[in-house]
Structure 1
Amino acid sequence: MNQSSNTAENIDMTVVSTTEPTVAGPVMKKKDLIEAVGQKVDMKKPDVKNAVEAVLEVLGAAIANGQEVNLPPLGRLVAKRTKTGANATVMTLRLRQAKGVAEKAPEKPKGKGKKALAGQGEDS
């Protein structure tokens, strides 16, 4: 009887646990961000677009320069690792966000830029 084949037959090959690959959720693109911001503020869409693009440009430059970005309620964003490739720079970022921020549902506006005529508790 061959000793090596006997050893291989006695090995338990049961898988105890498996890891499921994590699938990223839906992607928010710049167009989606502009639309969402436009619903929250009383500004024309071109003005919202200019403001959002300016903010993204400033944030991108700050992160690329190694600056820590602390913007509540978004949170604190820090670049941990940077790798420069032929076509792009890849950064590993850490975002620390206060508890409860992710659970808050976005507020829906109660009209398109319209303000209530009567205050809370007053008859309309």
Structure 2
Amino acid sequence: MSAIKKHGVNDFWEISKRGSLPRITRAYVPKVLAAIRIMRNLDAHGFESPQQFPIYDYESVSIKSPLQLEQVAKWINVPTSDLRDLNPSLRHDRLPPNGGVKLNLPSGARDKFDVAYARYTSGRN
């Protein structure tokens, strides 16, 4: 905002030419704009348009202790790969040890999960 006030223009390219933006910003913004342009016309840029994106039906639960996806998959009787698909931000098939995470479960699996998680957190595993 200060670069806009300083130069009296709100055009990224003009402000960039004047050197008022950090180098990383000058490099990053054009990449984002290029990605937007490509996404708006995938075929013209040599990409195939997806026929449809998958629609996932899921329920989110709050997790306050570390868990492995494999453990959760056993509790609710679903493949671990289904949990990976519903939780793409998780790495290494585990929930972070600091807790406070939302875990997406397949729709209808919440009751099984709640019972198993209650046993797990109370030490009656």
Whichever structure has more strand as a proportion of its residues is 1
* TM-score, scaled relative to structure 1: 0.22
Whichever structure has more helix as a proportion of its residues is 2
Which one has a bigger Cα radius of gyration? 1
Q: Which has the higher contact order (CA 8 A, sep 6+)?
A: 2
* TM-score, scaled relative to structure 2: 0.22
